[in-house]
Amino acid sequence: MHIKPLTLVLTIIFQLCSVTAFSQKTAGLNSLLDKNSEFVFPQTTEKISKILHVKTIFYEDANDQKYAKWITKSGLELYCSLGKNNVVNEMFFDIPDDQVLVVENLPFGLALNKSTLQEAKSRFNRYGAQSQTLGKGSMYPNGAQLTFKKGKYYTTLLFDNKNLLRSVGITTELVDPAVN
């Protein structure tokens, strides 16, 4: 079989462009997840910083509620409210909207910008996962929210209008959608 040089060159160029346009990275959370790929609570801000190799950014909201966030080299942003003595009992995982990348190895084996609503419904159906469509004024208009409870934690997954996972939240109580 003889391949034309133009076909070969175009194939190589297309593959290089597709690899650089849609970067895939790992979250680097292994030490923060248990054997079932679930985030281990409680945590400390110091331990999270050490494992992620990034500095904790502390901040407060208008109600003097304390928060912490970490922005990893992969582009993943983790953030949470802080309990007594800066203990972490909840966690949110996001990537900025302007970054086109896939971040894998998140809790429950999920991947931002890769896991789909249908996959999540199938995987978390045994935990009574409930789905609802997000409204026009939400963070992801015409997207979806999937919520389930496993143990004492609620997990909220937000999907964009293409049904790709954009955000993961793990909390001890359900967060009112109006807060987002």
Q: What is the pTM of this model?
A: 0.82
Using alpha carbons, select from 138, 15, 23, 151 the residue that is nearest to residue 89: 151
One digit per residue, the tens of pLDDT, for the chain of length 180 reads 555 554 544 454 445 444 334 455 566 687 898 888 899 999 999 999 999 999 999 999 999 999 999 999 888 999 999 998 889 999 999 998 877 889 998 999 999 999 999 999 999 999 999 999 999 989 899 999 999 999 999 999 999 999 999 999 999 998 665 554
Single-letter amino acid, residue 41 = F
> What residues does each domain of the chain span?
1-110, 115-175
Cis peptide before 177 (omega within 30 of 0): no
